[in-house]
Structure 1
């Protein structure tokens, strides 16, 4: 299915009466020494991005003591969090649930925008759709039993094309909130095609989610999107600051103008990551900010700001 007009887009999302929210995916390791971020590190991160958003997403709860260390920063800077739970392998999943049980009761539920179980677990074939749906239900039961948390949505994050696959309807049905990831860069798009490709991918995912849930009243976010600023090219996609700036204006500003909530991958470069052999260096340069800068690499203003 292709969305070749704004009218077709509005038939899925409806007329946007509000601008879509903006947030950032956030790494949990320091670039200086690869150590886990402390509460002070998160406070510093929040101070840098606070002029643009008060919303971040992390990928796990127990890894790197993330939930324990980020809670004081959320309270001090009044930030909101999408909290990840890693569902693959039983021992890891048990540690994630233990972190939820230990630390969520120490913070008001208003700081937690949602819980996402898995991050592209279906795309990587880490879990079957039925197993992931079961783990979403298990986390929901745990979270909603915590005092004050009965209305916190629980769902998942996956690649747009996986969500479109009808074989994964059980996961959508089990989710209160669904995030779709879409990267025109990893589809090898030129800048001339990147925005159209991105919007079409997201709209396909949203239409399938709404059809599966039987309602347009479901919380939906773009879970990851962005453009790298350095590293190797992927097919026709070329990393550069100029291209990242263009993608921001045409795709991120554009889709937010149509009311779609968007999390950008990612807030900061992660130079601690190993240089990949396939596309040299690109994984360390997805940040909107460098790992040691308080100013973004390019303008983050949109026409509606």
Structure 2
């Protein structure tokens, strides 16, 4: 009983600090309120769950679109659609029934046989429901994709306008409008420009992005005097990887949209927000960030309101409870057969367990955001199990890191020898995973996030294990130099990729800096093997025969 009571005070304090940590990161942030309870227009793509526009056999049922429009009616009277196939054309008559308007998009690709039916259908809809069609958008970012010339787009715009008599335009990123031929500028009734500060070459945080908006609008008005401008797409992602100091989050999304609405209201410029609902299929193209531009999530729940405080973790209380539960379960498993501990050990392991529980809870949160396919789910489940095993190992009374070096894991995998070098296999899995992620970020990092909790927890805990085992920064007694060769390979990857990320991401990206710090900790984990190699080399030179 005395031993159990020794654990109680540190566990209670650690739990209180865990609760305080989650309360802090989940606190509501005060933001400027939106000037109007209704949005001018929002981009609407009806795909849900596993539905994707790449499934050309898919036809969206009209009742699904009707339910979405009923959901959107309280927040906007206008939706922008991008195509007239796959059942999306039903948006127009369904919007007309609800006294809503549609920015009717025609998807223009490289092949006439794909876009000519869309043009024909759009003309039919515009003639049948003229009161519901606010304007027709002939092509979306076609110049950006390089699929048609500006002159050809001008011809299509002119043709659709003549057939419908409705306002007609073309939509693209503002920089491509600056390079567009005059024929296209003259053909449109107004210029629909896309402005996505998160994706700009020089990204800015949400509050500074509004200044960039002012710059773009003033630049475009100066270059095209007398031409009416509409912001056809703007928004901010609520999840995904940071780009410099442009950080996706619920708070930043709400902040940008509220500030944007105030800015355009003062200027009297029409606009469209991207987008109505999160689109999971976009994560296949753009990583996690692509799927989280909606003002509603995939379950059609509002992410935030437009006037009150906004939290990045509105469910922080549940996450705090999960973190405490994870920490206690790992501690219980690690100490099931030996709860004996001095005061110092009880305090150390209590705080380590619950801090590790918070890290795993954060990892679980990220896994839920980035998982798209069954394969993704299997990988993330394996990584969560890896973190739980490392945490449990670090909480054991007698860690035995030195008995299972990396080379032992490789030998076991090659020869399937017994006993299984469990710790070595676990370390090897962590290093292989971290090296794979580091290389992926270095060579193809635009859409990849930084798995901070996934590898930060093992990086710290393996150092703790080494310190407790008395092998940190000390040469190993194992004469097998294979472990040193593995250490050199992993160290070269971690150091090289870390230096590249520092250069490529810049000092403003705190997520990138944190991941570089994790790579440094993982490199430090390998320092003992390097020192052992040096020691063996020196001993070999001293005892080598001279002739």
Establish whether residue 26 from structure 1 lines up as the match of residue 49 from structure 2: no
Establish whether residue 198 from structure 1 lines up as the match of residue 213 from structure 2: yes
Q: Distance in 2 between matches of 1:86 and 1:93?
A: 6
Shift of 1:52: 2.1
Check 1:240–1:280 CA distance in 2 against 1; reply closer, same or farther (3 A cut).
Answer: same
Check 1:206–1:267 CA distance in 2 against 1; reply closer, same or farther (3 A cut).
Answer: farther
Shift of 1:19: 12
Candidates 129, 134, 138, aligned match of 1:117: 138
Q: Tell me, yes or no, if the aligned pair for 1:83 and 1:112 is still in contact at 8 Å.
A: yes
| CA offsets 1:154-205 (integer angstroms, 9 cap, x no match) | 111111112223x532211110122110011012212342110122113322
Q: Name the SS for the 1:22 alignment partner.
A: coil
Greater relative CO (CA pairs within 8 A, separation 6+): 1
Shift of 1:47: 1.7
> How many pairs does the alignment contain?
265
Check 1:238–1:287 CA distance in 2 against 1; reply closer, same or farther (3 A cut).
Answer: same
Candidates 119, 133, 140, aligned match of 2:161: 140
Q: Distance in 2 between matches of 1:36 and 1:282?
A: 26
Q: Distance in 1 between matches of 2:43 and 2:304?
A: 18
Q: Tell me, yes or no, if the aligned pair for 2:78 and 2:102 is still in contact at 8 Å.
A: yes
Establish whether residue 222 from structure 1 lines up as the match of residue 231 from structure 2: yes
Shift of 1:300: 2.5
Counterpart of 1:156?
A: 170
Q: CA RMSD in A?
A: 2.4
Establish whether residue 292 from structure 1 lines up as the match of residue 292 from structure 2: no
Higher strand proportion, which one?
1
Counterpart of 1:14?
A: none
Counterpart of 1:13?
A: none
Counterpart of 2:88?
A: 66
Gap runs ≥5 in structure 1: 1-17, 144-149
Q: Distance in 2 between matches of 1:110 and 1:92?
A: 27
Q: Distance in 2 between matches of 1:299 and 1:163?
A: 34
Counterpart of 2:243?
A: 234
Establish whether residue 280 from structure 1 lines up as the match of residue 287 from structure 2: yes
Q: Distance in 2 between matches of 1:78 and 1:231?
A: 36
Shift of 1:142: 2.4
Counterpart of 2:222?
A: 207
* Structure 1 segment 38-77 matched on structure 2, within 5 A: 38-61=61-84, 63-67=85-89, 69-77=90-98
Check 1:133–1:272 CA distance in 2 against 1; reply closer, same or farther (3 A cut).
Answer: same
Q: Tell me, yes or no, if the aligned pair for 1:20 and 1:260 is still in contact at 8 Å.
A: no
Q: Name the SS for the 1:110 alignment partner.
A: coil
Q: Name the SS for the 1:83 alignment partner.
A: strand
Check 1:134–1:301 CA distance in 2 against 1; reply closer, same or farther (3 A cut).
Answer: farther
Gap runs ≥5 in structure 2: 1-35, 53-57, 309-547
Q: Name the SS for the 1:257 alignment partner.
A: helix
Q: Distance in 2 between matches of 1:20 and 1:177?
A: 23
Q: Name the SS for the 2:157 alignment partner.
A: helix
Rg larger in structure: 2
Q: Distance in 1 between matches of 2:253 and 2:195?
A: 15
